[in-house]
């Protein structure tokens, strides 16, 4: 079983300066806070804010390829954690087949946001996160009263080699 989540925002772990994506369930309870890369954080923040870029980003290209090949993203699922690494998959419907495609959860989240498709977290992952959090061994707490990191929080110097 899995729980459907929404992206509450992108936040910054104050201790490690690592961006994290905050996933909450329908009741607004935190299900998972997962560290991600700075580039992935900026893309997810852009998707949340519905920022459009003049040229397609990688996740936009993935969406266009799915459409051109007559496929449809059904959902994204963060299905397991191994050695402190989260694993995700895309469930894609193509013709009469259901395809499961391995992905980094942050890529799956960005794609799901761009296509307005649901995101799920497996119950066992949510349980692992709750248990590790209660033991003080998992990621950061979300910022109080904010949706976390926004594009305004990012500086051009954060992307010295890559211009969007």
3-state secondary structure the chain: CEEEEEEEEEEEECCCCEEEEEEECCCCCEEEEEECCHHHHHHHHHHHCCCCCCCCCHHHHHHHHHHHCCEEEEEEEEEEEECCEEEEEEEEEECCEEEEEEECHHHHHHHHHHHCCCEEEEHHHHHHHHHHHHCCCCCCCCCCCCCEECHHHCCHHHCCCCCC
**Residue 33 domain-assigned?**
yes
**Residue 162 domain-assigned?**
no
Structural domain including 106 reads 2-143
What is the total count of domains within the chain? 1
**Residue 18 domain-assigned?**
yes
**Residue 92 domain-assigned?**
yes
**Residue 151 domain-assigned?**
no
**Residue 150 domain-assigned?**
no
Residue of higher predicted confidence among 134 and 102: 102
Quickly state the pLDDT bin for 162 (edges 50, 70, 90): very low
pLDDT digits (tens, 9 = 90+) for 25-77: 988 999 999 999 999 999 999 999 999 999 999 999 999 999 999 999 999 99
**Residue 149 domain-assigned?**
no
Averaged pLDDT of the chain: 85
CATH number of domain containing 106: 3.10.690.10
| pTM for this entry | 0.82
């Amino acid at each position: 079983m899995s729980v459907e989540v929404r992206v509450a925002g992108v936040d910054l772990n104050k201790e490690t300066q690592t961006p994290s994506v905050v996933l909450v369930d329908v009741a607004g309870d935190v299900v998972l806070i997962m560290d991600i890369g700075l580039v992935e954080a900026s893309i997810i923040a852009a998707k949340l804010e519905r920022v459009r870029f003049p040229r397609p980003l990688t996740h936009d290209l993935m969406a266009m390829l799915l459409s051109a090949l007559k496929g449809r993203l059904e959902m994204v699922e963060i299905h397991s954690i191994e050695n402190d690494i989260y694993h995700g998959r895309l469930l894609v419907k193509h013709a009469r087949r259901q395809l499961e495609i391995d992905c980094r959860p942050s890529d799956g989240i960005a794609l799901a946001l761009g296509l307005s498709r649901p995101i799920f977290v497996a119950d066992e992952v949510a349980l692992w996160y709750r248990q590790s959090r209660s033991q003080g061994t998992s990621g950061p707490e979300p910022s109080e009263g904010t949706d976390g990191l926004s594009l305004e929080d990012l500086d051009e110097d954060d992307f010295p080699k890559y211009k969007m």
